[in-house]
Amino acid sequence: MSVARTWAVALTGLRGEVVEVEADVTAHQPDIRIIGLADRALGEAARRVGNACENSGLPLPYRRLTVNLSPAGLPKQGTGFDLAIAVAALATDDRVRRPSAAAVVHLGELGLDGRLRPVAGVLPAVRAAVAAGRPRVIVPWGNREEAELVVGAEVWAAVSLAQVAAWHGAEVEVPDVPPVPGATAAPADAEELDLADVVGQQDAVEALIVAAAGGHHLLMSGPSGAGKTMLARRLPGILPPLDDEAALEVASVRSLAGEQVTRLDRRPPFEAPHHSASTAALIGGGSRVARPGAIARASRGVLFIDEATEAAASTLDALRQPLEQGSIDIHRAGFTARFPARFQLVLAKNPCPCGEYGVRGGDCTCSPHLIRRYAQRLSGPLLDRIDIDLKVERIASIAQTRSADGTTSAAARSRVTDARARSRRRLAGTPWQVNVDVPGAWLRRGPRAVDPGAVRSLDAALQRGVLTLRGYDRVLRVAWTVADLAGHDRPTAADVGRALFLKKGVVA
């Protein structure tokens, strides 16, 4: 029997599935046919594989070669199947040992000269292979560092097809050629931004600490020059470092986006797309291969949109589903890709188009009608998903900068870490770890329900129509975070009042 087999991985979003690559030759007109729901890029592998094998001194059999990618009903995209197809094809006439080829997962694109080119998504692909019980993986040399990040993987990094064939027992001369480097250099370490740089905004700093401790979404309103962007960029620095699973998830998304991953970064990511970014840039997409957008790249970290009222309403409304579900689904003909979207949303806006409305000494030229329309650009359903509505004012005197207490990021991060530890202990035995994830029904009627006397002001706000029920639940979550920071076993009336003020800027 001439059928030979090896393995590859098909990625749909971050989910990977091991694919069996079968090759068979028959006595027909020479040709290479790839079947099994391959996309256009994968269908073109026949030409790349044929030339790469010929130029590596490993010509394919001069017969019809049929390659089947199984399961046939699973969509398969990209060029990462080239190496597996070549190895399976060479195994049909025993140019490489069949048992050896069948024991390894092969990932990588082939150049016409036979060299292996790095591909996007190697990290989640190797994770999927290890999870499927196939830890032996061959990857391009340019992907070796990210592949080696997966615990339990036995990674072989190859420069060329000839080198891979030689590992599988082929009698072939391995050329001394330089490896193809990664397409994108690893990003340099970002400058460490310290919260101590923020002066004269102690209320805003405290609100930022509350947001970090509970994972709450934040809206900052104020004139230009008040420090909104400065505050937002320092939020990742006061979040706890990522654990192993979260760091791997972040690195996997970066890998899918085409970035070269060389290490696990424990810092929460920070994404700040321009307010003119399209919906596709925000949520991700692609006609044939789904790529993560800013939402997925910000998962486990912070998504910051400055000048949010200048963004398209449809783009901002696209945030509503991932804010609730913690994931984003991209639907295309034939497949659905799911990406993580567990981010903290930070929006910033000016009080009016000119930015001077309500500013001490400011000269606002906007009409009342224009100011109202400007404020209404953020939809009610989106605002209802914001936990903290923070008003930020400009520094009014130089004395404020001299008297600032200069809370450092290290001190704030310590408070945040302690508060999150309290919430984890309280939520032990539940699927949740931070307050922002806890369902409203559990908060209101669960075993840790707040005393009725403590939520009297909240009930009054709901009755007056100041809050919706969703907003009511979000205030409860913030109240628990305020209590965790204060070391209280349950939220007090003062904690609930503080949370209500952070949400609506009112005291009932």
Per CATH, the homologous superfamily of domain 195-394 is P-loop containing nucleotide triphosphate hydrolases (3.40.50.300)
Residue type, 86: A
DSSP-H helix ranges across 35-117: 40-43, 45-55, 82-91, 98-102
Average pLDDT estimate for 258-269: 90
pLDDT of residue 107: 97
* Portion of the chain with pLDDT greater than 90, in percent: 60
What confidence category does residue 258 fall into, taking pLDDT thresholds of 50, 70 and 90?
confident
* Contact in structure between 71 and 37 (CB atoms under 8 Å): no
Question: What is the residue-wise DSSP string for 8-43?
Answer: EEEEEBTEEEEEEEEEEEESSSSEEEEESSB-HHHH
Given a cut of 60, whether residue 404 has pLDDT beyond it is no
Q: Which two tokens stand for residue 359?
A: 């500013």
Q: Which residues pair with 4 in a beta bridge?
A: 23
Given a cut of 50, whether residue 70 has pLDDT beyond it is yes
What confidence category does residue 396 fall into, taking pLDDT thresholds of 50, 70 and 90?
low
Q: What are the residue ranges of CATH 3.30.230.10 in the chain?
A: 4-168
CA atoms 436, 437, 440, 446: torsion sign: negative
Q: What are the residue ranges of CATH 3.40.50.300 in the chain?
A: 195-394
* Contact in structure between 481 and 218 (CB atoms under 8 Å): no
What would the pLDDT profile of 322-355 be if each residue is shown by its tens digit?
Answer: 998 889 988 877 678 889 999 999 999 988 888 7
What confidence category does residue 198 fall into, taking pLDDT thresholds of 50, 70 and 90?
confident
What confidence category does residue 205 fall into, taking pLDDT thresholds of 50, 70 and 90?
very high
Question: How many other CB atoms are there within 10 angstroms of residue 62's CB atom?
Answer: 9
Instruction: Report angle CA 63, 18, 174 to the nearest 5 degrees.
Output: 55
Find the length of the chain: 508
What would the pLDDT profile of 429-463 be if each residue is shown by its tens digit?
Answer: 899 999 999 998 898 888 888 988 999 988 998 89
In this structure, which CATH number among 3.40.309.10, 3.40.50.2300, 3.40.630.190, 3.30.230.10 belongs to the domain 4-168?
Answer: 3.30.230.10
- pTM of the full structure: 0.89
Question: How many other CB atoms are there within 10 angstroms of residue 19's CB atom?
Answer: 22
Residue type, 185: A
pLDDT of residue 448: 83
* b/e 435-459 (16+ beta carbons within 10 angstroms → b): bbbbebebbeeeeeebeeebbebbe
| CA 338, chain centre distance (Å) | 11
Q: Which of 252, 293, 292, 250 is nearest to 268 (CA)?
A: 250
pLDDT of residue 183: 60
* Portion of the chain with pLDDT greater than 70, in percent: 94
Kindly compute the dihedral angle of the four CA atoms of residues 89, 94, 97, 99, in this order, to the nearest 10 degrees: 80
pLDDT of residue 402: 47
Mean pLDDT score of the chain, rounded to an integer?
89
Instruction: Name the DSSP letter for residue 378.
Output: S
pLDDT of residue 161: 97
* Contact in structure between 422 and 214 (CB atoms under 8 Å): no
What confidence category does residue 360 fall into, taking pLDDT thresholds of 50, 70 and 90?
confident
